[in-house]
Amino acid sequence: DTGVSQDPRHKITKRGQNVTFRCDPISEHNRLYWYRQTLGQGPEFLTYFQNEAQLEKSRLLSDRFSAERPKGSFSTLEIQRTEQGDSAMYLCASTGGLNTEAFFGQGTRLTVV
Amino acid sequence: GQQVMQIPQYQHVQEGEDFTTYCNSSTTLSNIQWYKQRPGGHPVFLIQLVKSGEVKKQKRLTFQFGEAKKNSSLHITATQTTDVGTYFCAGPRGGTSYGKLTFGQGTILTVHP
């Protein structure tokens, strides 16, 4: 196991385009989280999955954002009609069992121009 | 909503000096976690504190959880250049999933050799 992996690591897109990010959690972890981090701030919670069920969405997750975890393994985060304010690092994390430690991926840095 | 605040925002020290960052929550926490993020990296779990007044040590790092379970601190003795990074505290957002966290804004530590 190589930890949580995210793809791509960097994405530059034009305003108005759609983007999709992928997260592969640690294989035995059933819980997966998406966070957004802007410069100089701590990660902000976006949404959470337990297996394939999306159990919570933050108010930060506007209608342009959608996340899926179709088979309870990898997850995707899609942003439609990107805006410059969407520019940030998008982090994925996973936990499993009684483990309280959240393992974060390297993140996808999105730049909207 | 729940707020987690950290001070100071920045700390510059000479190698060998001590460093402390403080974390305060607007609500009582069931537990508090600390993460470290190296420049250009992702958050990495350091420790979790659960009990009121708990003190835990990891080599040169000492973590404390306040008696009221609303504040916490991280103290590093005799800093080294490898300690450089941003230190975040994080409290659970509620429910039973430890990965749903509210992060403080972090304290950026720079160490001058």
pLDDT at A100: 77
- Dump pLDDT digits (tens) for B72-89: 999 999 999 999 999 999
Question: Which residues of chain A have a Cβ shorter than 8 Å from any chain B Cβ?
Answer: 31, 33, 40-45, 48, 50, 55-56, 91, 93-95, 99-107
Q: Is the pLDDT of residue B97 over 70?
A: no
Mean pLDDT of the B99-105 span: 92
**pLDDT tens digit string along A5-42?**
999 999 999 999 999 999 999 998 999 999 999 999 99
Looking at B2-109, list the stretches that DSSP marks H as alpha helix, in order from N- to C-terminal side: none
| Max intra-chain CA distance, chain A | 42
Distance of residue A17 Cα from the nearest chain B Cα, in angstroms: 26
Q: Checking DSSP bridges between strand B44-49 and strand B85-92, what pairing results, if any?
A: unpaired
Task: Taking residues B32-39, report their average pLDDT.
Answer: 96
Span B37-44, average pLDDT: 96
- CA A43 to CA B112: how far, in whole Å? 27
- Residue B96 in this model has a pLDDT that exceeds 70: no
Q: Which residues of chain B lie closer than 8 angstroms to A99, CB-CB?
A: 98
Average pLDDT over residues B6-26: 97
**Smallest Cα distance from B99 to chain A, Å:** 5
Q: Considering only CB atoms, which chain B residues are within 8 Å of A33?
A: 99-100
Tell me which chain B residue has its CA closest to the CA of residue A3.
B44
Q: If you average pLDDT over residues A74-93, what whole number do you get? A: 98
Q: Which residues contact A109 (CB under 8 A, 6 or more apart)?
A: A9, A10, A11, A88, A89, A90
- CA–CA gap between residue A84 and residue A110 (Å, rounded): 10
- Per-residue CA distances from A76 to A45, A73, B44 (Å): 15, 10, 22
For residues A56 and A47, what is the distance between their CA atoms, to the nearest angstrom?
Answer: 6
Query: Confidence band (pLDDT; 50, 70, 90) for B95?
Result: low
Cβ–Cβ gap A48/B101 under 8 Å: no
Place of tokens 């974060």: A104
Buried b (16+ CB within 10 A) or exposed e, B5-31: ebeeeebebeeeeebebbbbbeeebeb
Q: Which of B41, B43, B44 sits opposite A43 (nearest CB)?
A: B43
Amino acid at A63: D
Nearest to B103 among A40, A42, A94 (CB): A42
- Give the model's pLDDT for residue A26: 94
pLDDT, residue B103, reads: 96
Nearest CA in chain A to B49: A100
Check CB contact under 8 Å for B103 and A95: no
Residue A97, pLDDT score: 80
Q: Map residue B44 onto helix, strand or coil.
A: strand
Q: What is the mean pLDDT of residues A105-113?
A: 98
